[in-house]
Amino acid sequence: MNISLSPKKILIMTCVFFTLFAISIVHPVNRTHRDYSSSTYGKLPRHIDRVWNFAIEDASKPFLEVRDHYLFHGRSPGLFKFIAEMTARLGAKSPIPLQFILIILVNLGIIAQFKWLSLLFKNSVFPVVGCLFLLGSHFLTYFGTTIHQHPYNFAFFNFCMFFIVKYAQTKNIKDYWLCWFCYLFLCQNYYMFWVSTFVMMVGILWLHGNKIISFKNLGLGLAPVLTIGFLVWNISYAHGGFDKGFPKLAKIYKARVLGIVEKDAVQKPLTKKDYIKYPLTVSSRVERYFYIPGIVFIFLGWILLRLKKANNSKLDYRVFRFLIPAGLSWYLLVYEHTVVHQVAGRYSYFLWMVFFGYFFFEIHTYILNSKKRYMPYFLKLCWPFVLIYGGYGFLYLNVGGLIKNLMRLFKIL
């Protein structure tokens, strides 16, 4: 299935726009601007300055004196912190050199996303919608240049998807091992995408005839197991023994998963009210980055099913059997973090991205096949969604943000 606008041009546009925006925001006049300190933009300085300050502090000491190169807050996998430290040790006076490297990495992630969507769905609609999804939200623009875990997770998630789809379709063992190494690297940068990436990889293999319980899936599962093993050792080493280090892991597990926090903690323990309204909380977290409340996707899903039936669709909807649990995994496992942090909405981006692929594929097919006179009215009913998502997301926030960034830069120059 082809669409009139060249998919490759949209891919290039996505990479160019992201690069321009990213370059404009790395300058301190923009990075530290008060607009980007708000929760709307994920508190950008916090995701850069905090990591860089840790890196500078570690780099000021002899290498062997630092016991927690790899740990973030003394209990989380933070290879991104170690990379920032090495950047400082090599002479960087600011995070900007590392940010330029990450801009390249994220661009490669955008290309990998385009490729795996093309391979998996075998049409041009899904990769194009994937690009438009990135352009129409500030999911990527305001996080693609942080030196925190996000650029690594975004890029390596898409590398994993690209190589696992290639392996599933060609059975080339080299692609399996490339996927494994990408997953191992992803696991070294915080916990956010561990489960969702694994579920997606297992699901894609299952879609292509692989059994759920298999040596291939067990092999992929070794990546987080090895990571946890190294993490426990490093925590024990950094804190002077397992008995002193284990409470650090236990503390984060109790807080993030069970919602049990210490009395002197900044955040409050979760209450019954928090759990009752939790679906609305998740919905608002999704809206924070994609401008559509998560709960609205239930209504859009109903429309999608009607379109599927009307089109006698040939698309394989079995994808949703693993896509939905993968996309919602963070919210189903880590309640407290979702309640406390508004940035949690971005951890399910791939679910909404693929959902829109199905949605617009079916709309496009319906319009092409329909000879009914009421189609113009149908299109008129759709325009508010386009206006809200494209007009507000891309034009107002992203293009508008780029213009503001450039104006602040020109004042300095």
Contacts of 300-309 with C-beta under 8 Å, sequence gap 24+, read 300/355, 300/359, 301/355, 303/359, 304/355, 304/358, 304/359, 304/362, 307/359, 307/362, 307/363, 307/365, 307/366, 308/362
What mean pLDDT is predicted for residues 173-202?
A: 95
Residue 40 pLDDT: 66
Within 94-214, residue ranges assigned H as helices are: 96-121, 125-135, 150-170, 173-187, 194-207
Query: Residue 381's pLDDT band (boundaries 50, 70, 90)?
Result: low
Contact in structure between 154 and 109 (CB atoms under 8 Å): yes
Query: Residue 363's pLDDT band (boundaries 50, 70, 90)?
Result: confident
Range in 160-169, 254-263, 334-343 the model is least confident about: 254-263
Dihedral sign, Cα of residue 146, residue 149, residue 151, residue 154? negative
Side-chain-facing half-sphere of 225: CA atoms under 13 Å: 7
Query: Residue 255's pLDDT band (boundaries 50, 70, 90)?
Result: low
Range in 57-71, 252-266, 343-357, 359-373 the model is least confident about: 252-266
Between 238 and 106, residue with greater pLDDT: 106
What's the CA gap between 345 and 323, in Å, rounded?
16
Residue 264 pLDDT: 52
- Max mean pLDDT range (7-21, 124-138, 246-260): 7-21
What's the CA gap between 412 and 78, in Å, rounded?
34
CB atoms within 10 A of CB 358: 24
What mean pLDDT is predicted for residues 331-338?
A: 85
What's the CA gap between 31 and 194, in Å, rounded?
29
Residue 112 pLDDT: 98
Query: Residue 358's pLDDT band (boundaries 50, 70, 90)?
Result: very high
Between 367 and 196, residue with greater pLDDT: 196
Query: Residue 411's pLDDT band (boundaries 50, 70, 90)?
Result: confident
Query: Residue 190's pLDDT band (boundaries 50, 70, 90)?
Result: confident
Between 144 and 14, residue with greater pLDDT: 14
Residue 336 pLDDT: 81
Q: In this model, does residue 229 exceed pLDDT 80?
A: yes
pTM of the model: 0.90
Is 154 exposed, middle or buried (CB count within 10 Å of its CB: 0-12, 13-18, 19+)? buried
